[in-house]
Structure 1
């Protein structure tokens, strides 16, 4: 009898129940994934009762955020109607579900009607929607963690690839779910005034990060936080040479941390060009190693500044947006980078 109970317990402990909709984690050891079915009912019911409720939460929620598959289809129908600027109510949602062939899947017209009977008002719908979003994020984190654990036990998995995959997955969850909302202009004015006061403390006209090119700095006041600056020119006009000089000036002359992502040239090629500029020895001589004794001495003396520079070069080819974001965040946390340079944007993968 004891052995039977022990076997039964072992079987139950290993039980996993797969789910029907995409992205939902498995049930393991009797645990139920985070969910809020009552709030899902309340939100969908309120959206079919009051138009303002739709406007409040339509940009907060996505179909996959609902735990119950029927609720995913209903919200998809509401979102489709909203996108076509059509009324959202029991009848229109019913018709849209019938058109897509999902009415029977969600439980028929009776279930749609029951959703509206369970809600008296949509007064707290935004708060309820945020909770649904939080539960979805928790489920996503469980799913990602489970995948990471599974891959970590696989001896054939490359550890660095696994780290990148983990960071990318986590940042993807943050990117897709933690969006900024509209802010009151009063708060923005206060932030702008604080920035102006901070800029007034700087000497000269430079309030941002200097480029080392004085005429350019006079025009831009230095590179400002959150600025996206695109350098465009025909091939062979010196774009890479310019950004290399810029990166060198910021890292060496102003002691700021810079990240340089090179999708075309290798890190060694870029550094060789920097050495050529720093030592005033031609790149051709450096490639051939055909240096005189004086040039060797000049080389060893002048590269000391580059050795101490806070310049970080990543030459990963076909870098994706998510990989760039993950690597940049890591460099920011570890080295407090102040500038990111990408050479060049067209070589990035989607």
Structure 2
């Protein structure tokens, strides 16, 4: 029999321990912070899945193993997912048996804990709402973890601040990508939305364009304008005019059609791009603008013609070697602040991927990742994204006219796969080819080759290229100024009718009348014409 004094002592020790535990708990509540969690809801969801056959379908795309804060709940969820993948029934007995097979039954609280879960809820009526709360708690924990890591590194003097910025943005983007997913929609809702869009397009569209106009008539006929969520690649060999062409696209959309456009120039500075735009707009040679070697009349022309550019919503960012995360962040801000309707990137191969894996992988994998990210950006912002790309030397090695093909895209086949439209620029004049296959002179003409078009025709479009001003325009444009600033003979034939002076015409008619009557006067003289 136990000594009463021992019993009293044990009781006092128990009370003391209880007070200490309560004190520690109170200290945590007063001075510490617990990670965001919803343990009761975790248990309720697990119980609902085991008592309701269809509950797993409600929550399987919302929750993942790390969504559960408690380790034993993670193990039970892992067993439930394994049963679901095998298309086996999910209930108390099957989950317990699966935990045994995994060797996790004891670590998951044993059969008693699993059985208790089924008593937590009476039905699975609110299981989806509970799952969303659990998922939100995970996002909070991930944000805390990322922020804590950034704070710790920010205090370190050895950390590179720009690498830290990139890492922070990448981690936050990773959290968003892994947790924010679009749900499926019923086709009736999609049809209703599309019919409303169709009504708007029928009432408001000009020349059957429902996208952002390119400004090139034949190109717009083929594409209907640049469509929302499309990823467009413009590729060419050096000196074909890639930058000039995309500047023309940006200028036409922003100036002529009042569309906000963002340009990310990794190759040229914003000052160089603006000089090119001024040259295109005013037909003053870029080198004269660059040197400031303008005549008085040229300066007056310049100041009078740049009002359209000055008032355009054209945003230029010349950050070198920008990475996909920084680009996405800037585009989101521009979309929010200025509602940009198109993004142009010059050019894709100058972008950098993530900082992870420096020295590992290869450039092809990095370009593939950049390409996929740009397509994702187009879908996320629901705007067309146009990226310039380099070509390999293959066109010039094949022999014959060096027209590019899809396999010439440099460094990655993923570019071809991800792009909705692939356009090549080709100027045979540069290769000293005098005529096209149909006999048309190549002088001053560029071909825009639509080599891939996911939602339209694959055709070749001809445009005019004025080399002195690095300007592309419609082939039948009334502008007749050639690259030397003069009116070209070909444009004279196409756009002008040569009419004679009325005085000259009267003199010719009078001379013809006199000549005719003189010949009639001497026609009966047998001695022949007079001398």
TM-score by length of 1: 0.74
- Distance verdict in 2 for CA 1:232–1:331, change over 3 Å: closer
**CA–CA distance in structure 2, aligned partners of residues 146 and 180 of structure 1:** 29
Secondary structure at the counterpart of residue 43 of structure 1: helix
Q: How does 1:295-306 map to 2 (within 5 A)?
A: 297=299, 302-306=305-309
Structure 2 partner of 1:192: 194
Q: What is the CA-CA distance between 1:258 and the residue it aligns to?
A: 0.8
Deviation at 1:228, TM superposition (A): 1.0
Contact persistence 2:288–2:294 (CA under 8 A) = no
Residue in structure 2 matched with residue 3 of structure 1 by the alignment: none
Q: Distance in 2 between matches of 1:281 and 1:92?
A: 80
User: Could you say if the C-alpha distance between residues 338 and 59 of structure 1 is closer, same or farther in structure 2, counting changes exceeding 3 Å?
Assistant: same
Report the equivalent of 1:111: 113
Deviates more, 1:313-322 or 1:143-152: 143-152
Could you tell me which residue of structure 2 aligns to residue 339 of structure 1?
A: 342
How far does residue 311 in structure 1 lie from its aligned partner after superposition?
Answer: 1.5
Which whole-Å deviations, capped at 9, do the CAs of 1:229-281 have from their partners, x for residues lacking one? 32254433444332221111112222221112234444444444434433434
Q: In 2, distance between residues paired with 1:137 and 1:246?
A: 41
The structure showing larger relative contact order (alpha-carbon pairs under 8 Å, at least 6 residues apart) is 1
Equivalenced residues, count: 325
Query: Aligned pair 1:207/2:228, yes or no?
Result: no
Q: 2:74: which partner in 1? A: 72
Contact 1:258/1:311, CA 8 A, preserved across alignment: yes
Superposition deviation, residue 321 in structure 1: 3.9
Aligned equivalent of 2:133 = 131
The offset of 1:331, in angstroms, is 0.9
> Alignment partner for residue 231 of structure 1, among 208, 230, 233?
233
**Offset at residue 50 of structure 1 (A):** 3.7
Tell me: CA distance 1:232–1:339, structure 2 relative to 1, closer, same or farther (3 Å): closer
Q: Please give the root-mean-square deviation of Cα atoms over the aligned residues, in Å.
A: 3.8
**2: CA distance, partners of 1:76 / 1:160:** 39
Kindly indicate whether the alpha-carbon contact (under 8 Å) linking 1:231 and 1:239 is maintained by their aligned counterparts in 2.
no
Which residue number corresponds to residue 55 of structure 1? 57
Measured after TM superposition, the shift of residue 162 of structure 1 is: 7.4
Structure in which a larger fraction of residues adopt helix = 1
Q: SS in structure 1 opposite 2:254?
A: helix
- The equivalences for 1:167-182 within 5 A come to 172-182=174-184
CA distance in 2, matches of 1:315, 1:274: 15
Q: CA deviation at 1:151?
A: 6.9
CA distance in 1, matches of 2:347, 2:90: 46
Partner of 2:260: 257
Name which of structure 1's ranges 337-346 and 150-159 shifts more when overlaid on structure 2: 150-159
**C-alpha distance in structure 2 between counterparts of 1:142 and 1:271, whole Å:** 44
Q: Is the 8 A contact 1:42 1:118 kept in 2?
A: yes
**SS at 2:259's partner residue?**
coil
Partner of 2:245: 242
In structure 2, relative to structure 1, the CA distance for the partners of 1:291 and 1:92 (3 Å cut) is: farther
Q: Residue in 1 aligned with 2:221?
A: 218
Shift in Å at residue 171 of structure 1? 5.1
Gaps of 5+ in 1: 1-11, 17-26
How far off its partner does 1:223 sit?
A: 3.0
Q: Is the 8 A contact 1:263 1:348 kept in 2?
A: no
Give the CA deviation at 1:208.
3.1
Assess, with a 3 A threshold, how the Cα gap between structure 1 residues 311 and 118 changes in structure 2: closer, same or farther: same
- Taking the aligned partners of 2:38 and 2:130, their CA distance within structure 1 comes to 9
1:40 aligns with 2:36: no
For residues 91-102 of structure 1, the aligned pairs below 5 Å read 93-94=95-96, 97=99, 102=104
Tell me, in whole angstroms, the C-alpha distance in 1 between the residues paired with 2:346 and 2:194.
31
Task: For 1:87 and 1:242, locate their aligned partners in 2 and report how far apart those are by CA, in whole Å.
Answer: 60
Deviations 1:133-179 (A, max 9, x none): 23333444455565666677778988888777666655554443332
The 1-side partners of 2:311 and 2:243 are apart by: 22
- SS of 1:230 mapped into structure 2: strand
Structure 1 CA distance for aligned equivalents of residues 278 and 77 of structure 2: 59
Tell me, yes or no, if the aligned pair for 1:164 and 1:326 is still in contact at 8 Å: no
- Partner SS for 1:231: strand
Look up the SS of the partner of 1:259 in the other structure: strand
In the alignment, which residue of structure 1 is the partner of 2:428? none
Instruction: Write the distance in 1 (CA, Å) between the matches of 2:323 and 2:84.
Output: 33
